Amino acid sequence: MTTTAPSAAASTAPGAAVLAVDGVQIYNHLQDTVTVESISFEVRPGRALGIVGESGSGKTITCRALLGILPELFEVSEGTITLAGRDTATLSRSEWTALRGTTISAVFQDPASYLNPSIPVGKQLAEILRVKKGQPRRAAKQNTIELLEKVRIHDPEYVYFQYPFELSGGMLQRVLIAAAVACEPQVLIADEATTALDVTVQAEILDLLTDLKDSLGLALIVVSHDLAVVAELCDEVLVMREGQVVEQGPTERVLYEPSHEYTRLLLDEHHRFGLERFLRKPEETA
């Protein structure tokens, strides 16, 4: 993209963690319960962290805390989240708005629900560039077409004018990924981003995420029920259960030598579905 508009993104020293989560607890004031307990991790440019765990274990709530969009009555009650060198607890609402998209961004399941059904997808992407980056109409359109190419959409000039209902689930997820990386964020969260897609399309999207991570130097956080997804994409894994991190470490170690019974259970389930095809043996990576 060729823009000279000043970026709202905060900066990170080379090689430093772009996002550091330290001892974070997330409290639910509605039920007076701790939803997530003492979670810590770091992500660096060009690296990927996987978060796995059963439904309701707190994966999405954790991601929402990272994005500054916790549901009402949820609060980061302990610990710190440092995003591009800034303690997010100190951010005002407008500072958060400026950082979202430009420094940290996300894609979720069900891409159609994030798009306006009555506006062509290209125009919706161009609007992001106009609002967030101050690009004039013509440049925003040209850059949108480049973005659509970047997420490997063929015939982007044609797709630009298509409405969400005209596109498949895989295509819509590509459009949402394009929207998420439009303002060159440093961190991208993919929360069950491929769960609803069929296996072939899922593989294509995972491949695209890996490609973007490497080419744009994104720090990627991948949330999935599917250990195979995490095994394929991630350098490190964090296993959650009932709001607690039961295990975390390098992917090969966690998946080959799990030290927690729960991780072993998750692995047993997945071995039946051929996790091996995604795993490199530790000796191969040494």
| Residues touching ligand ATP, count (CB under 6 A) | 11
Token digits of residue 281? 């043996």
- Those residues whose C-beta lies under 8 Å from the C-beta of residue 46, and which sit 6 or more positions away, are 213, 214, 217, 218, 219
Stretch that binds ligand ATP, among 52-60, 96-104, 147-155, 172-180 (CB under 6 A): 52-60
Cα–Cα distance measured from residue 271 to residue 168, given in angstroms and rounded to the nearest whole number = 30
Identity of residue 120:
P
Phi, psi for 114 (deg, rounded to 5): -95, 0
Minimum CB distance to ligand ATP, residue 71 (Å) = 4
Residues belonging to the chain: 286
Please return the burial class of 276, using the count of CB atoms within 10 Å of its CB with bins 0-12, 13-18 and 19+: exposed
Minimum CB distance to Mg ion, residue 157 (Å) = 36
Q: Is 224 a residue that touches ligand ATP (CB under 6 A)?
A: no
Minimum CB distance to Mg ion, residue 237 (Å) = 16
Q: Is 224 a residue that touches Mg ion (CB under 5 A)?
A: no
Among 19, 48, 60, 121, binds ligand ATP (CB under 6 A): 60
Write each residue from 234 to 253 as x if it is in contact with ligand ATP (CB under 6 A), else as -, in one continuous string: --------------------
Cα–Cα distance measured from residue 284 to residue 259, given in angstroms and rounded to the nearest whole number = 21
Q: Is 55 a residue that touches ligand ATP (CB under 6 A)?
A: yes
Minimum CB distance to ligand ATP, residue 278 (Å) = 20
Q: Is 186 a residue that touches ligand ATP (CB under 6 A)?
A: no
Token digits of residue 247? 């295990």
Among 71, 85, 134, 136, binds ligand ATP (CB under 6 A): 71
Q: Any bridge partners for residue 49, and if so which?
A: 221, 236
Among 60, 82, 102, 251, binds Mg ion (CB under 5 A): 60
Measured from the CB atom, the residue of 59 and 141 that comes closer to ligand ATP is 59
Query: Residue 217 in 3-state DSSP?
Result: coil
Query: Residue 50 in 3-state DSSP?
Result: strand
Q: Is 50 a residue that touches ligand ATP (CB under 6 A)?
A: no
Measured from the CB atom, the residue of 123 and 225 that comes closer to ligand ATP is 225
Minimum CB distance to ligand ATP, residue 65 (Å) = 10
Cα–Cα distance measured from residue 68 to residue 135, given in angstroms and rounded to the nearest whole number = 26
Measured from the CB atom, the residue of 54 and 95 that comes closer to ligand ATP is 54
Given its phi and psi angles, is residue 223 left (phi above 0), alpha (psi -120 to 50 degrees) or beta? Answer: beta
Minimum CB distance to Mg ion, residue 60 (Å) = 3
Binding site for Mg ion (CB under 5 A): 59-60
